[in-house]
Chain A
Amino acid sequence: MKFLCGLLVSLAVLASALMTGAFPLGGAEVISLLFSPETLDPQLAIVFWQIRLPRILAALLIGAGLSGAGAAYQGMFQNPLVSPDILGVAAGAGLGACLAIWLQMPVVAVQAMAFIGGLLIVTLVSLTARGAKHHDPILALVLTGIAWGTLSGAAISLIKILADPYTQLPSITFWLLGGLSSITPDDLYYAGTGITVGVLPLLLLRWRLNLLSLPEEEALVMGVNVRHLRLVCIVSATLITASAVAIAGIIGWVGLVVPHVSRLLTGTDYQRLMPLSLFCGGLFLLCTDTLARTVNHTELPLGIVTSFIGAPFFLTLLLRGKR
């Protein structure tokens, strides 16, 4: 029954996303495009295949990826308030992108710099945490993540101060707010590959993710090397988040809130939690993005929409005091 409901809801969301938008391209045209495209204006095909469909697929992939990464991190850090940004990947990617915008680089370079910035910060975090031998490894990771993230945030603020307030500063602000308005099929291809490569290990190792919450020795007795598993988890989540941020900017709350909703629906067993998180994340971001692009002529930044929906939920969770 639950499965049927989920299927119906997702089909309805997908259909409404496919058939609504700024360009007059409704249900009948979409069906014609799929079955007899030669009868229609080529412009409609461009809008559908080059703009609307890549955007919908990007929303599904990014939402699923961020939510999956969030679920994995929440288990690994044994903390329900952890998001995929905990190790500074979004701040690092933001710094890379801001630097590229400030240096007036083209679109591709902005995306590449964001991706590299994200990977670089997490590598630095991991190396620094490894150096802090006399601390608990998880605590060391969180603390170094916060430190490097804050440092990147400060560098972003410095670039904002130095940037031209009439040209570069608005671009930086729009980028940091996140959005899917400029997704191209190429973006989808590269980032989609990164996200898929990151999601697969999380999905395949989902049973083992349950053991991440156990002490190292206990897990080792059960035949699982927690250190290796933790590394796989970090690499996967970083790849997902860096790829997502590179093409869509910083989209908050998806990775934090959606795993909780999924946990409420199915419990804490990662066997079921991980697939459900991926599914709900994709659906949530598709809903918010459809909203962001249809309520107005101009785009509502996606980060704002997800925060408006996510923040109240997060606060409720916090007030209920459940761990």
Chain B
Amino acid sequence: MDITRRHFMAGLIASGLGVASPFGLTATIRQTYPATLPSGIAKVGRNLSVASHSSATGQLFTFGELPPPAAIHKILSAGAPGDPLLLAMAPEKLLGLSSYELSHAGNEFLPESVRQLPKTGRLAGRGSSLSLEQLMVLKPDLIIDCGMTGETFRSLAARTVARTGIPWLLVDGGLRHSASQLRQLGTLLGVAERAELQAQLADRFLQDAQAFADRQPIALRFYSARGFNGLETGLQGSLHTEAAELLGMHNVARQQGQAHLVKVSLEQLLAWQPEVIITQDVRSWRHITSDPVWRGIQAVAQNQVLLFPRRPFGWLDAPPGVNRLAGLRMLQARFDQTVALTLQQDLREFFRLFYHCTPDDAQWQRLMSAQ
């Protein structure tokens, strides 16, 4: 193509516009936002600061200036794992749930105020379903995200704070850190008393799980079934199988250095021969227990295909949040007589503290019969 004066001028204007666009702001962030967050405070953008508090048992990253607890009236949940956590901590301050609507049938046991919480959408960079403009309309005092705290998620938080000026709190979502997660967040949100009760219950469930894991001479081999035909699973170390692994159980699906969802074949499962299959997908459960080929797997032949409830959130997974504490307890009760004795009380206590409800007997039975 010949370079004419017109082309040259057009190119000049285009590059001028490019430099003046929001990407310029990105460059500023890249300069001032450090690759690994220091424990001090670093300036990002105008009047915004990035602080990181880290401790040995859990990690909490703060982006922007956190308001004092008394000034936090409106909280926005940025993603699905934060929904159960914030619902437990501060339902009265919650603007809505990022990924769930709890108003549908089957959730009648929840308080009306919780069932009426709107679905606000998730904030996850380009995968966001909540726009930044909508975020400005909602005007939360604080955005809280829970889950992975890698560089991607931290830079995403820093960018959103730089553009909106709304402080962002990123909480490490590991199940084993639930108690410290609850205590730290409770203090920051000014609900330390409620958080302490929840943390104590979480501590008890987790310590019992650890004790159970330590007592096992040989780890029970499990497979976590997902998807409509049960052939999707979480690899060992993934968020999706953390509850069972905390009990010392051995995930048959493992791959060096990887911890994500994968597809496996039935032939591979017949070679693995897991002793227990856990699932919270009723379609998986129906398929596994009715298909004659699955009978060749030890867990199916010995009726060890365990279906977990999934209300109001999945008990084992989906989302990978504090909701998994209930699944952890239920799974332990299956193999631990002492825990089985008090399971119903423990779970009711969990529902009272975390979901602020006390289901009546009929509701409780519906809740527990996952089918």
Q: Is A201 close to B, CB under 8 A?
A: no
Identify which of B253, B265, B281, B287 contacts A167 (C-beta below 8 A). B281
Q: Is A101 close to B, CB under 8 A?
A: yes
State the CA gap A107–B227 with chains docked (Å).
10
Say yes or no: B264 contacts A43, CB within 8 Å: no
Say yes or no: A170 contacts B227, CB within 8 Å: yes
State the CA gap A55–B266 with chains docked (Å).
11
Say yes or no: A23 contacts B232, CB within 8 Å: no
Give B57 Cβ to nearest chain A Cβ, in Å. 25
Say yes or no: A52 contacts B267, CB within 8 Å: yes
Determine the chain B residues whose CB is within 8 A of the CB of A296 once the complex forms: 255
State the CA gap A166–B253 with chains docked (Å).
18
Q: Is A184 close to B, CB under 8 A?
A: yes
Whether A171 touches B228, Cβ cut-off 8 Å, given contacts A107-B287, A298-B255, is yes
Q: Is B283 close to A, CB under 8 A?
A: yes
Say yes or no: A106 contacts B286, CB within 8 Å: yes
State the CA gap A22–B80 with chains docked (Å).
36
Say yes or no: B318 contacts A164, CB within 8 Å: yes
Say yes or no: A298 contacts B263, CB within 8 Å: yes
Say yes or no: B228 contacts A166, CB within 8 Å: no
Say yes or no: B268 contacts A22, CB within 8 Å: yes
Identify which of A107, A170, A181, A293 contacts B261 (C-beta below 8 A). A170
Q: Is A21 close to B, CB under 8 A?
A: yes
* Interface of chain A, main secondary structure: loop
Whether A170 touches B264, Cβ cut-off 8 Å, given contacts A106-B286, A297-B255, is no
Say yes or no: B263 contacts A166, CB within 8 Å: no
Identify which of A22, A106, A174 contacts B265 (C-beta below 8 A). A22
Identify which of A23, A24, A106, A179 contacts B287 (C-beta below 8 A). A106
Q: Is B99 close to A, CB under 8 A?
A: yes
Say yes or no: B293 contacts A51, CB within 8 Å: yes
Determine the chain B residues whose CB is within 8 A of the CB of A107 once the complex forms: 228-229, 283, 287
State the CA gap A137–B136 with chains docked (Å).
51
Determine the chain B residues whose CB is within 8 A of the CB of A24 once the complex forms: 271
Q: Is A46 close to B, CB under 8 A?
A: yes
Identify which of A47, A106, A182, A298 contacts B283 (C-beta below 8 A). A106
Whether A298 touches B270, Cβ cut-off 8 Å, given contacts A104-B283, A161-B129, A182-B229, is no
State the CA gap A105–B281 with chains docked (Å).
12
Q: 1/0 per residue B57-70: CB within 8 Å of A?
A: 00000000000000
Say yes or no: A299 contacts B263, CB within 8 Å: yes
State the CA gap A213–B287 with chains docked (Å).
48
Q: Is A90 close to B, CB under 8 A?
A: no
Which residues of A247-306 have CB atoms within 8 Å of chain B's CB atoms?
293, 296-299, 301
State the CA gap A52–B293 with chains docked (Å).
12
State the CA gap A161–B99 with chains docked (Å).
11
Q: Is B319 close to A, CB under 8 A?
A: yes
Give B117 Cβ to nearest chain A Cβ, in Å. 17
Identify which of B226, B231, B267, B319 contacts A22 (C-beta below 8 A). B267
Q: 1/0 per residue A123-159: CB within 8 Å of B?
A: 0000000000000000000000000000000000000
Q: 1/0 per residue A76-97: CB within 8 Å of B?
A: 0000000000000000000000
Give B273 Cβ to nearest chain A Cβ, in Å. 10
Identify which of B122, B227, B266, B314 contacts A171 (C-beta below 8 A). B227
Determine the chain A residues whose CB is within 8 A of the CB of B286 once the complex forms: 106
State the CA gap A300–B265 with chains docked (Å).
10
Q: Is A50 close to B, CB under 8 A?
A: yes
Q: 1/0 per residue B306-329: CB within 8 Å of A?
A: 000000001001111000000000
Q: 1/0 per residue B238-271: CB within 8 Å of A?
A: 0010000000000001110000011111111011
Q: Is A165 close to B, CB under 8 A?
A: yes
Say yes or no: A46 contacts B270, CB within 8 Å: yes
Whether A297 touches B229, Cβ cut-off 8 Å, given contacts A23-B270, A165-B80, A166-B320, is no
**With contacts A166-B318, A171-B228 known, what are 8 further pairs, Cβ within 8 A?**
A22-B265, A22-B270, A23-B267, A51-B265, A51-B267, A164-B99, A167-B281, A301-B263
